[in-house]
Structure 1
Amino acid sequence: MVTDQLSRAVPYEVRDFADRSVEQAKKAFDGFIGVVNAAIDDESPRPAESPASAANLSRLAVGFAERNVQGAFELAHNMLHATDLTQMLELQRVFLETQMKALKSQMRSLERAGAAGSPPAGVTHKAK
């Protein structure tokens, strides 16, 4: 059966190379997000000075984007270690289901934050 052949069809070396590439991309993205957060911090007044600033919305949106991309990296890593197509399809199904729930929640949070002029209490960007 085709699904049983995946673990034999993809050599270890190919999986290992892809896994290292995903890890390298993840590190590059983490560095990028760190620079974006620093730029937001440098270009905006402190939250205590201006709680309704656009910078707070930017921090919230960047935090959501970071979590979304990290989820995609996790999916890529898990798919590289899948042993058959059925497992890959299940990983994709779970990822999409989880992502849709997260996106709905993120949209509601952004709408509330935009209406209120600042992010909900307790929401901060990830420090690097």
Structure 2
Amino acid sequence: MNITPNFEIPGAMREVAQKGIDQARQAFDGFISAARQTVAATQGAAQTADASTRDMATHSFQAAEQNVRATLDFAQNLTQAKSLQEAMQLQADFARSQLAAVQAQAAELGGIAESAMKQGAGQAAKAAQSGADQSRMSKADEAGR
């Protein structure tokens, strides 16, 4: 004869266990929500960085093309110079125009880089604030129970 005792788990103990499971589920849901928001913010930052990189590459190639064309134009003009004085003048004009062009190109690329950094910093700040807010809400929900 196999007689097993009939133990009953008290209702209060089952309620405490259920409450603990509910709290764990809510904490997990809060964690998952914050993780999803972080992933979304990270993807936004990655897209911004990608767009900025493409913009920088495009402008860099345009600047390089402009510089090579200017150099080829200078070389062609130099071959047509009739005197050393004319050649020296062409050289001085070319140097002046290239210096101005390089300064303008550097300013443009610097502006693009600065804009990208500001956008990235703004997105990072939003993501951090969102994560902090989500964490506070999760803690406040937990404390309210």
TM-score normalized by the length of structure 1: 0.51
2:61 matched to which residue of 1?
A: 62
Counterpart code for 2:111: R
| Secondary structure of 1:83 counterpart | coil
Give the Cα separation in 1 of the matches to 2:57 and 2:96: 26
Please say which of residues 50-59 and 67-76 is displaced more in the overlay: 50-59
| Secondary structure of 1:89 counterpart | helix
Could you list the per-position Cα deviations for residues 45-104 of structure 1 after superposition, in whole angstroms to 9, with x for gaps in the alignment? xxxx76733111100011001000100000000000110110000000000001001111
Question: Is structure 2 residue 91 aligned with structure 1 residue 92?
Answer: yes
Could you list the per-position Cα deviations for residues 3-25 of structure 1 after superposition, in whole angstroms to 9, with x for gaps in the alignment? xxxxxxxxxxxxxxxxxxxxxxx
| Secondary structure of 2:51 counterpart | coil
Segments of 5+ residues of structure 2 without an aligned counterpart are: 1-46, 118-145
Higher helix share: 2
Question: More relative contact order in 1 or in 2 (CA 8 Å, sep 6+)?
Answer: 2
Percent identity between the two aligned chains: 24
| Secondary structure of 2:62 counterpart | helix
Decide whether the 8 Å contact of 2:78 with 2:87 is kept in 1: yes
- Count matched residues: 70
1:110 matched to which residue of 2?
A: 109
Give the Cα separation in 2 of the matches to 1:53 and 1:110: 10
- Within 5 Å, give how 1:1-128 maps onto structure 2: 52-117=51-116
Counterpart code for 1:70: R
Larger-gyration structure (1/2) = 2
Counterpart code for 1:71: A
